[in-house]
Chain A
Amino acid sequence: MPDRLILHPDAVARLMPLHLWLTPDGMIRQVGPTLQKLRPGIEMPGGEFDDLFDLRRPRDAGPIWRLGDGATMRVQLAFRGTSGTALKGLAIGLGKGRGVLINLSFGISVVDAVAQFGLTLGDFAATDLAVEMLYLVEAKTAVEAETRRLTQRLQLARIAAEEQAYTDTLTGLKNRRALQPVMARLLEQPAAFGVMHVDLDYFKEVNDTHGHAAGDHVLQQAAQILQQETRASDTVIRLGGDEFVLLLDGPMTMARMRAIAQRIIERLQEPIPFEGNLCRISASIGAALSSDYDHPEPEQLLHDADMALYASKRAGRARLSMANGQEQATAGWGTLG
């Protein structure tokens, strides 16, 4: 058995497509085919190592081509005059005037290098895991894109479900679940906001006389009127049955609430036609204004608006009462009999 392994330079090129063979005086003797591909315009063999390469690590190692027989050194190289692709590898002294062999690899910069230099599968050593790494990067990107799409779809579904959970199916208004979050939002604002509790008058009579289909129709019409007579920034909630709560965005004043309530009552009193019959309703309203309280609490405002609503009912319906005791006259609004 010979104690030395002798390789033909072509075999070295096949085994290590990214190798450099330096002469003992620092000239480039041979370059691996892939390494040569990275410098297409420059004929590397015959050139000076120092002219073409920049030894980045170790910085102060001295001339790398003087490595002694069998001595090794981990190195990091870059092409001189470029900031890009750094190659890393191992240099080994070949001894007896044979120079130094450096075997290189791309490391993590392989993804960019492949794109920049148009490398193919055959440009890598059979043992190089570069291709596996490219494969993984690409597979990971594809899977990530798929996961992102799933997350987006789930996000949209969540928003839709939430919207649905807060919606009253008969009228399309918000339901009582929306009360808490909207109140909380209004309380965070400095401006005074209004709470109006609206109860339809004579709704039970409509249901009893004309049936539930008529009742549902009347509720839908009433919901539409409530929405038309308020602004987009206000919230109209159907609490259930024929009870509604209006949360009126600030800045709100008593005078404005009075005007809104008057319009609502007037419009609700217009007879609603349904299957040849005319359904007649009106509304009793109780209102509270957040600026009437030192520390406005949602429960308190709702409770006081509710109390004011009952005051309106007791006073003969079709009217507005304020929680602070200023009961409004019904003069001119008309009442139903």
Chain B
Amino acid sequence: MHGLINRSIQCFVQDTYGAQAWQQVAEAAEVSPDGFEAMLRYDDVVTTNMLECLSERLSKPLDVLLEDLGTYLVANPRLEATRRLLRFGGEDFLEFLHSLEDLPGRARLAVPDLELPELEVREDGASCFRLVCNWRFPGACNLMSGILRAMADDYGALVVLDVEYGYRPYVRIELLDGAYAEGRQFDLARKTGAANA
């Protein structure tokens, strides 16, 4: 797994549950307490192991944790760069939704060895969509539903999101109102220092 993803999980634990929680998870998962380097690669098992230890330590199911992680990636000011890069996808939530299929390709433009879930957006009626996620890791749909929830807030859109489990799990997205609220400011021009993750 790419260090960026492991590092994100580490920051998520530190920022949400505190330094002590991270120390305990790191110890249980046999990860250095200093954590991960964002630009290095790690064995996949390190990530799955860490997530299992985290789930145990917090007594939270993995699904819920991954959804929280997704929301954190967008909503936390420390990761402003992620939110901004996602906002480049479109001017409103609908455009953003349609840009999701490009997301892994866009990510690879910036970090060639970063593997994100392969995403497929299908229209399911006028304002209903299915987001099918293909990843080597379980829980991609939960992670994406967390990201979508935070992005909807960011755009000021009112959406209902559900993860549908089954042979091919997907995220069901119902767009009730694309301009429900003000949404957060997004300037194409980056303010100096805003990209610090």
Residues of chain A having any CB pair with chain B under 8 Å: 111, 114-115, 118-122, 131, 134-136, 138-143, 145-147, 149-150, 153
Contacts and interface: CB of A to CB of B under 8 A. Distances in A.
Contact of B90 (A115, A121, A136, A149): A121
B111 A138 contact: no
A146 B5 CA distance: 13
Nearest to A120: B188
Given A136-B110, A138-B84, A141-B190, A120 B91 contact: yes
Which 8 pairs of residues, A with B, have the shortest CB-CB distance? Answer: A139-B110, A115-B189, A142-B195, A135-B88, A121-B91, A142-B81, A114-B188, A114-B189
A150 B109 CA distance: 20
Interface of B: 4, 37-40, 81, 84-85, 88, 90-91, 95, 106, 109-111, 187-190, 195-197
Secondary structure class of chain B's binding surface, majority of residues: loop
A115 B187 CA distance: 8
A159 B84 CA distance: 36
Nearest to A141: B195
Contacts of B109: 135-136, 139
Contacts of B90: 121
A140 B85 CA distance: 11
A120 B95 CA distance: 14
A139 B197 CA distance: 11
B181 to A, nearest CB: 18
A138 B38 contact: no
A147 B110 CA distance: 12
A88 to B, nearest CB: 20
A18 to B, nearest CB: 15
A211 B188 CA distance: 73
A146 B106 contact: no
Given A136-B110, A139-B109, A146-B197, A122 B91 contact: yes
A138 B81 contact: yes
Contact of A121 (B4, B39, B188): B188
B104 to A, nearest CB: 13
A119 B91 CA distance: 12
Contacts of A122: 91
